[in-house]
Amino acid sequence: MPRSFQSALRKGHDAERRWVDSMRDGGLAVGHGKKLVIAKSDPRTIHVETPDAVALFSVEVKERSISFSTPEDYPYDTVFVDDCRGLSKERYRNLVYVYLSRPTGAWVWLTMLDRNNEWKEEVTHDRGRGHALPVLVCPKRFLRPAEQLIDLVFPHAYLDLVDGSTDWLVSGGGETERRDSYSAKANPNAGGRDSKAQAKGRKHMG
């Protein structure tokens, strides 16, 4: 392997570590990809698929009683994105909103990255809560097919290329936890969950 390639690889790895460390110093959930160096390989032809880094993003899932299978047959011209009051209080933002059709089981999604001046804040009557509610609304053309999001989510088969425990991304979770009161973590550098609380085995890989 040419020394120039080794030098470039080392500098690239150093840059990745600095970026991950800087994000972590800012209190953000970012991890390393494994640093793999393949001894017997031609750097001109080999493609190592290990990620430089991985990051945790929040997804909001909203079930709807309406029938749809694709963005095109979503039955309304606009989509309720979120409660404006809740949005103003959150310390983090959901990157993705998933809309699940109860009748069909199909789902579509949108991303806050697409927000522009076509997205409006409107007041609607919330029948469940019995009062007016300010909501963020966008045209349905911002809905995306499920396949586009599936293509972006990191697959189980590559989790061994993430540096650290990833069992919790394969199985477990979803339980309801009851507390006497709720308080958000004030410390942005609060530690992660203990690995003992995670799933014990990585099953159904691939």
Whether residue 16 contacts residue 33, with contact meaning beta carbons closer than 8 Å, is answered with: yes
Whether residue 143 contacts residue 80, with contact meaning beta carbons closer than 8 Å, is answered with: no
- Of the candidates 24, 105, 34, 20, the one whose C-alpha atom is nearest the C-alpha of residue 69 is 105
- Residue 51 CB-half CA count within 13 A: 20
Burial class of residue 150 (count of CB atoms within 10 Å of its CB; 0-12, 13-18, 19+): exposed
pTM for the model: 0.80
Q: Could you read off the pLDDT tens digit of each residue along the chain, which spans 206 residues?
A: 445 656 666 777 889 999 999 999 999 999 999 887 666 666 666 666 788 999 999 999 999 999 999 999 999 999 999 988 877 777 788 999 999 999 999 999 999 999 999 999 998 866 666 667 899 999 999 999 999 999 999 999 999 999 999 999 999 998 888 888 766 554 555 666 655 544 434 333 33
